[in-house]
Chain A
Amino acid sequence: MSGAEATTTVHSEWMQYAPLIILLPMIAFAVILFLGRVFNGHPFWKNTLKEGGLIALPVMGASLILSLLLISEFLKGNSGVDDIFEKIAWINTGLWDGGSTTESVSFGFGIYVDHVTVMLLFVASFLCLLINVFSIGYMNTDPINDNRNHRFYAEFVLFCSGMLGMVLADSFLWLFIFWEIMGLCSYLLIGFYYERPSAASAAKKAFLTTRIGDVFLMIGLVMLWDLFGSLDYAVVFDTQNIEAVAENSAGTLQWALGLMFIGAVGKSAQFPLHVWLPDAMEGPTPVSALIHAATMVNAGLYLVARMFPFFGAEALHGDLDDLAFIIAAVGGITAVMAAAIAFVQMDLKKVLAYSTMSQLAYIFTGLGCAMYLANTLDWHNDSDAHYIVVVAFGASLFHLFNHAMAKGMLFMASGSVIHEVHHAHHHLHHGDHGDDHHDDDFDAQSMENMGGLASKMPITATAMLIGSASIMGLPFIGGFWSKEGIIANAWRVAQDDPRFLFPAMCVLIGAAMTGFYMSRMWLKTFAGKPNNEVAAHVGPTNIWIKTPLFILTFVTLSSVLLAGMGFTHWAADTEYSFLSEKNILDGILYEMEHAFANSDAFFFILTYVAIFLSAILGPGIAMALYGGKLADGEVTKPWMRPVVRLSAWVNKRFHFDNTAFRESSLATALENRLYIDEYYDKAMINIVAGFSNKVAEADTEVIDGTIKAIESGSQSLSTAVRSLTTGSARDYILMVAVGTLTISLLIWGVA
């Protein structure tokens, strides 16, 4: 009985409450689940408590507040990295490494706070709260969810607990543990509509695909543990420990990190383990927003970002560049592939899903490049190199932040659209009969059923517009600041190492592609005339849904401020102070100058090429194809009018016929997701299932068959033996005589 074991001391007043950030939602999980079971259908439960939504909300609020307090404390510099509270000795065990005694080994749980933690903690707790708000507007107004929303909220808060736990954990082991809990929740939430076979299969697919990654992650962790004798960040990031490992196990370390990266690939839906993410859109939209855009998929990125200290370690200089390249290359492939598939998707959420994959791939590329730089440059001593590395890493993290905010918003906005389209359809076709919803083929998520919604859902359209712009990287808006950084860094590395030309080209092409498909999505949904009667009857949405959209729009727009405050620099550099280093206006000016008037000619040109691709070429083609005026008499908000008009103009002026492309085999392949899912399914059915059936057969036929053969063999032997007892006394006497003779001979012979 050794329970808690003090390893470090408590410093600050709010930090000791950090575990509550994880614990509160976890407790809420049990409470909501239990109350939901008991009071299911009760009017008070249903209407006043919103089936648990209003229990989850304060809990998530509390988590956010505690997180913010923690963050502010951290920013004030009141705390070191991991001395937060008493560490719990979770597993005590021992190892023997030769010698006459065993060594004791302990796996503990603690909280670790650094810049990356703080950033992701904010992202997670903030978005969780907003999505909680959104969910109340979204889930509780759809009668199909009646009497089972408690399940949603319970799983939702458990998920939040997992995400926050993963961010706060002080070791790779606990990162993995919370990671798996998120996986479970993702599984449960994707399969929320359990009665749909597609949802059931998507849930399974999501869990299994990520599980395959997790297996490798676990092996990686095990190897890492073996190298360091611990998985605590404080231990593995320790320079001296890394030096010790680097001396003769650098190769093993690269293997370990590489295997861990496979886990990240699975969780962040990168090629080749990306297949689950589009299917995961079977879950309710808040789930998509929360898990598959804003938070869980970032876990993979977080994990890779956590590996940065290894890449940056002096002792491992130049040892890990291959892995860095692999990370960047996987990112590059996925960025282009996902963007291409997004071209042809008609399902609003699927477009966003592929966009997510693509943008996460950007971040991977960025991280890969940053890690390459960190691993090959002498950045500890050279201040220029230091700046390059820090900014490269920071840009990736900043993109993570921007993307999370924008994509969360986009998903919520798309949810809002779908919700209203669905309602309109319901209203139009079923009246007030309250029929079952799923007896027709109407697809509320298809962009075929939308169009011209800009006037009907102005806030949603605005949010969507800003979000798209951020993702595309339109100048000054949200993701621009970070995406430019990623592209620039990729090319910087490509100058050093020609291998990196591949990811660098990928991200550049991807920029144009992003411009195209995001514009296409927005235009098809909000511009032009309504595609059908349903779209014409869509009405505005409710306040629960609007609020988070509203907030996030401003957060996305304000990322320029963050950029100005040196977020990029701060996120990567522990030495850098967030609030005090620079005047904010100076910062913005500096960033502007850096972006648009780079002194280096190469990067100057690169910037404008990227801007051209993402802001002009991509959207331009989209406008030419899908742009259009709103229906007559429909007016939208003033800030969207120019966009709509521009699109109409471009459409008129440059419209071209893309039938040839649409009918090409490439388009078909893209629609079929490049057949990757199909091959995987085939492999599952033919190889895995076939093999397992064969093995099961062998188990019965060969192993159990041997037992059965012994059994039946002895039975027939028994029959044979018994048939010697013929029943005739003569034979018995004969046997006596034979026996007598044999005994005599034997005795005689022996004698």
Chain B
Amino acid sequence: MSNVSRVEPFGDGFITALCPELMLFAGMLLLILVPNLGKGTFRIPGTQIRLPWLLGGTRFKFSSDPRLPAWIASLTLGGAFLSVLYIFNQGLERVVIVSESGKELLLINGFSRIFELIFFGALALAAFSSMNRLQVKGIGSKVSEHELYNNRRQADFYILMVTCALGMSVVALAQDLFVLFIGLELASFSTYVLVAFLKESKVGVESGMKYFIVGSVASGVGLYGLSMLYLWAGSLQFSVLAATFAVSGTTALPLIGIGFVLVGFGFKVSAAPFHFAAPDAYAGAISPVAGVLATASKAMGMLGLVRMLLIVAAPESSDGSAVWLVCLGAMAAITMTWGNLAALGSDNPKRMLAYSSVAHAGYMLAALTAVGAWNWDAAVAGDASAAAVAVMTALIFHLVVLVAFKLGAFLVLSILESEGGASRLSSLGGLAKREPLLAVAMFIFMISLAGVPPMAGFLSKLLVIMGIVRIAVGDMGAEIADGGIYVLGDMHWVWWLALLMVINSAISVFYYLRVVVVMFFDEPEQGREGPLPGGWQVRVAILACVLTTVLVGVAGDSLIRLCEMAAQSLNYNW
């Protein structure tokens, strides 16, 4: 572990190393305090002396502004995002936070940082665009300015956003499986509440309940898997687990343990068959939250899987027989097909996007499978580590750009939602006439989701496919050049996942295009002919998403390099 500085909690360099996280923490505190600032006084007991202590009472004008929590949260999350970017720009220092007993708790490197970028970026966009748009009266009614101003729940919402970010960043940094799990739970609990935030509506609470119940079962299974691993290895440190795994990894206990943990993360990435609650949750939650679920939360689950499978179980696969590979491959195939098929007939745009995010989870799982197969056959595996880095890069890249267009699509829906619902495809009717630029933005998101060039979605899908194919082909090219004779059947079976993936992309075009057709072709629903509700924040957020989608699609090289750097930092073996 060279080049890594070890830092103890609150020791030297702790604050600089964890600057973004600490910013979040401070932001959380501010969110709790600032909206409560008022002319409240504290009467010294037994006296009539009232000392102004600024909490409670009649709130100040600035502190009663309903936009304040949103601003604080956005600035906090945005600041965290920018600080991570700044850190990247400065040149990343690898730092590991160790406990007093020498246990590694958190590791700061490119890989964890880039995931933080995803989390903070998605949440910042969601927070910023929810400003003014947060519905409190349930889906179907417009929010009056008055209702908005008098609602203190604004603060709760944004606090949850920030705690969510905090939990996610813990997941990103964790070097101990249990720490990771705690972060995961922190983020999960926040999202449960965020999903159920619209408690005044039937669908809001219902979605929250389902998400909560199924999520809890999944994390229960995961925790039990953790306990099995602990029972087997005696520690949940990644390094210890990996070392133990290399010795006795193929016994039943750790394997089933890993399988259980996989269930816990599988729910987060909404992999089939753990995805069932996801469409319901997305449909019931308000759109920015659904967007967060589809991007940041999914990235978190993916991160867990990567840590679990590639760090813990990778040594086991060095002999070319990763046992979880088949399992993951099957899951990937089922997930992408299921998601696409289900989305095909869905009339609710949010459910459709939910199923599409299931499909995207399938693509990412396929990539993960490919990483797992990275040195499947010594004869033809070739420069396997480079290949594995390539797939990992693709996976990260996909998660990063997904924020732009998946969240962007949800944000467009959120505008419609604040107008009175976006639960039918026809709600989008005539969008091209009502607000052409918004329709164009949605169009860009849709074709990007479908993987049509020159959007970022194409590049990411291309990278994933390229990664898979690269793993599958291995070093055959060099072998052929040396006179080896190979047939297509000699490739690793993950190649078929790539084929399934392109076929699925083709299917997916159908439902993405349907949205476009409705926007550009159909007439608006009755009573929705007029202009859309205003709000520059959400439009700025959408613009940011559009620009990212297009620019990354057209000139994605630097982002690819960033992701590659992150992927390289994942494992010393590579």
Direct chain A–B contact by Cβ atoms under 8 Å: yes
Which residues of A from 492 to 516 have beta carbons under 8 Å from B? none
Query: Assuming A717-B341, A740-B260, is B255 touching A747 (CB within 8 A)?
Result: yes
Q: Can you list, as one digit per residue, whether each of B251-268 has a CB less than 8 Å from chain A (1) or not (0)?
A: 110011011101100110
Query: Which residues, 714 to 749 on A, are CB-close (under 8 Å) to B?
Result: 714-715, 717-719, 721-722, 724-725, 727, 729, 731-733, 735-740, 743-744, 746-748
> What B residues does A722 contact at CB under 8 A?
342, 345-346
Identify the stretch in B37-45, B106-114, B274-282, B527-535 within 8 Å (CB) of chain A at 4 or more residues.
B274-282
A751 an interface residue at 8 Å Cβ cutoff? Answer: yes
Decide if A739 touches B274 in the complex (CB within 8 Å): yes
Contacts of A95 in B (CB 8 A): none
> Is B344 at the interface (CB under 8 A from chain A)?
yes
A733 engages B221 (CB within 8 Å): no
Contact B276 A735 (CB under 8 A): yes
**A365 CB → nearest B CB, Å:** 66
Interface members, chain B 322-352 (any A CB < 8 Å): 323-324, 326-327, 330-331, 338, 341-346
> Is A660 part of the contact surface with B, judged by Cβ < 8 Å?
no
B302 to chain A, nearest CB (A): 17
Given A729-B209, A746-B330; A736-B218 close (CB under 8 Å)? yes
B574 to chain A, nearest CB (A): 24
The answer on a CB contact under 8 Å between B259 and A740 is yes
**A181 CB to nearest B CB, Å:** 48
A461 vs chain B, min Cβ distance (A): 74
**List of B residues within 8 angstroms of A717 by Cβ:** 341, 344
Complex CA distance for A744 and B253, rounded to whole angstroms? 10
**B321–chain A nearest beta-carbon distance, Å:** 8
A719 to B343, CA, bound (A): 9
| Interface pair B209/A747, CB less than 8 Å apart | no
Q: Are B274 and A736 in contact, CB atoms less than 8 angstroms apart?
A: yes
Q: Which of the listed residues B272, B277, B279, B344 has the most CB atoms from chain A within 10 Å of its own CB?
A: B344
A86 to chain B, nearest CB (A): 52
Asked whether any CB of chain B lies closer than 8 Å to the CB of A750, the reply is yes
In contact, B256 and A748 (Cβ under 8 angstroms)? yes
Alpha-carbon gap, A739 to B225, bound state (A):
14
User: Nearest-CB distance from A732 to chain B (Å)?
Assistant: 4
Partner of B345, one of A718, A731, A735: A718
Q: Which residues of A contact B326 (CB under 8 A)?
A: 746, 750
The size class of the interface chain B forms with chain A is 35 or more
A731 vs B273: C-alpha distance in the bound complex, in angstroms?
Answer: 11
| Residue interface bits B207-238, CB-to-A below 8 A is 1, else 0 | 00110011001100100000000000000000
Closest CB-CB distance, B293 to chain A, in whole Å? 15
Interface residues on A, range: 20 to 34
- Complex Cα distance, B258 from A748, in Å, reads 11
Question: Does residue B507 face the partner (Cβ distance < 8 Å to A)?
Answer: yes
Give chain A residues whose Cβ lies under 8 Å from the Cβ of B274: 735-736, 739
Cβ-defined contact, B256 with A721, below 8 A: no
Q: Which of A727, A737, A751 contacts B323 (CB 8 A)?
A: A751
- For A732, the chain B residues whose CB sits under 8 A away are 210, 213-214, 276-277
Q: Which A residues between 141 and 155 are near B, CB-CB below 8 angstroms?
A: none
A731, B274: Cα distance in complex, Å: 11
Q: How far is the CA of A687 from the CA of B240 in the complex (A)?
A: 82
Cα-based distance from A717 to B339 in the complex (angstroms): 12
Let me know if B250 is at the binding interface, CB within 8 A. Answer: yes
> B337 — nearest CB in chain A belongs to which residue?
A721
- The contact of B263 among A719, A731, A739, A748, by CB within 8 Å, is A739
Q: Which chain A residues border B263 with CB–CB below 8 Å?
A: 736, 739-740, 743
Cβ of B101 to closest chain A Cβ, rounded Å: 32
Q: Is B255 a contact of A748 with CB atoms below 8 Å?
A: yes
Contact A725 B341 (CB under 8 A): no
The residue in chain B whose Cβ has the minimal distance to the Cβ of A727 is B280
- Residue contact A747 to B327, C-beta cutoff 8 Å: yes
A718 in complex: contacting residue of B210, B272, B342, CB < 8 Å: B342
In the complex, A594→B319 CA distance in Å?
107
The answer to whether B507 touches A714, judged by C-beta atoms less than 8 angstroms apart, is: yes
A729 adjacent to B255 (CB under 8 Å) = no
User: Are the C-beta atoms of B213 and A733 separated by less than 8 Å?
Assistant: yes
- B267 close to A736 (CB less than 8 A): yes
| Nearest CB of B to A49, in Å | 56
Contacts of A727 in B (CB 8 A): 280
In B276-317, which residues have CB < 8 Å from any A CB? 276-277, 279-280
Whole-angstrom distance from the CB of A747 to the nearest CB of chain B?
5
Given the complex, which residues of A lie within 8 Å of B279, measured CB to CB? Answer: 725
Please state if A721 and B338 are interface contacts (CB–CB under 8 Å): yes
In the complex, the chain B residue whose C-beta lies closest to that of A725 is B276
**Chain B residues with CB under 8 A of A736:** 214, 217-218, 221, 263, 267, 273-274, 276
A287 to chain B, nearest CB (A): 53
Check A733/B344 contact, CB under 8 A, given A727-B280, A744-B259, A746-B330.
no
Of chain A, the residue at the smallest CB distance from B355 is A722
Please give, as numbers and ranges, the residues of chain A lying within 8 Å of B272 by CB-CB distance. 739
Taking the closest CB of chain A, its distance from the CB of B336, in whole angstroms, is: 13
Per the bound structure, the CA–CA distance linking A729 and B212 in Å amounts to 10
Chain B residues whose CB sits within 8 angstroms of the CB of A743 once the complex forms: 259, 262-263, 327, 331
Cα A714 to Cα B337 in complex, Å, equals 11
Q: List, in ascending order, chain B residues with CB within 8 A of A746's CB.
A: 259, 326-327, 330
**Chain B residues with Cβ under 8 A from A724's Cβ?**
276
Given known contacts A739-B263, A750-B327, is B344 in contact with A715 (CB within 8 Å)? yes
Mask: chain A, 546-586; 1 = CB below 8 Å from B; 0 = not: 00000000000000000000000000000000000000000
Asked whether B342 lies within 8 Å of A725 as measured between CB atoms, the reply is yes
**B494 to nearest A CB, angstroms?**
16
CB distance from B21 to the nearest CB of A (A): 31
Chain A residues with CB below 8 A from B338, complex form: 721
Q: Name the residue in A715, A718, A736 with the highest tally of chain B Cβ atoms < 10 Å from its Cβ.
A: A736
CB distance from A72 to the nearest CB of B (A): 71
Q: CB-defined interface of B65-99 with A at 8 Å, one 1/0 digit per residue?
A: 00000000000000000000000000000000000
Contact of B280 among A725, A747, A750 (CB under 8 A): A725
Shortest beta-carbon distance from B186 to chain A in Å: 21
| Least distance between A637 CB and chain B CB atoms (Å) | 81
CB distance from B290 to the nearest CB of A (A): 16
Docked complex Cα distance between A739 and B269 (Å) = 14
User: Bound complex: CA of A722 vs CA of B358, how far in Å?
Assistant: 13
Q: Say how far A742's CB is from chain B's closest CB, in angstroms.
A: 8
Contact check: which of B209, B251, B266, B343 meets A739 at CB < 8 Å? B266
Question: Is A747 touching B258 in the complex (CB atoms < 8 A)?
Answer: yes
A737 partner residues in chain B, CB cutoff 8 A: 217
A740 to B344 Cα, complex, angstroms? 27
Contact between A729 and B210 (Cβ–Cβ < 8 Å)? yes
Nearest neighbor of B344 in chain A, beta-carbon distance: A718
Kindly name the residue among A715, A717, A740 whose own CB sees the greatest number of chain B CB atoms within 10 A. A740
Choose from A714, A721, A739, A751 the contact partner of B255 (Cβ within 8 Å).
Answer: A751
B510 contact set on A, CB distance < 8 A: 714
Residues of chain B within 8 A (CB-CB) of A735 are 273-274, 276
User: A739 to B273, Cβ gap below 8 A?
Assistant: yes
Who on chain B is nearest to A726 by CB? B276
Could you name 22 residue pairs across A and B whose Cβ atoms are closer than 8 Å? Answer: A715-B344, A718-B346, A727-B280, A729-B213, A732-B213, A733-B217, A736-B217, A736-B273, A739-B272, A740-B259, A740-B260, A740-B263, A743-B259, A743-B263, A743-B327, A747-B255, A747-B259, A747-B327, A748-B255, A750-B324, A751-B251, A751-B252
Having A719-B345, A736-B273, A743-B262, one finds 11 other A-B pairs with CB under 8 Å, namely A714-B341, A715-B344, A722-B342, A722-B345, A729-B209, A731-B276, A733-B213, A736-B267, A736-B274, A739-B274, A740-B221
Contacts from B to A (Cβ < 8 Å): 209-210, 213-214, 217-218, 221, 250-252, 255-256, 258-260, 262-263, 266-267, 272-274, 276-277, 279-280, 323-324, 326-327, 330-331, 338, 341-346, 507, 510
Sorted from nearest, which 8 A-B pairs have the closest CB atoms? A718-B345, A718-B344, A732-B276, A743-B259, A739-B273, A750-B323, A735-B273, A729-B210
Residues of A within 8 A of B (CB): 714-715, 717-719, 721-722, 724-725, 727, 729, 731-733, 735-740, 743-744, 746-748, 750-751
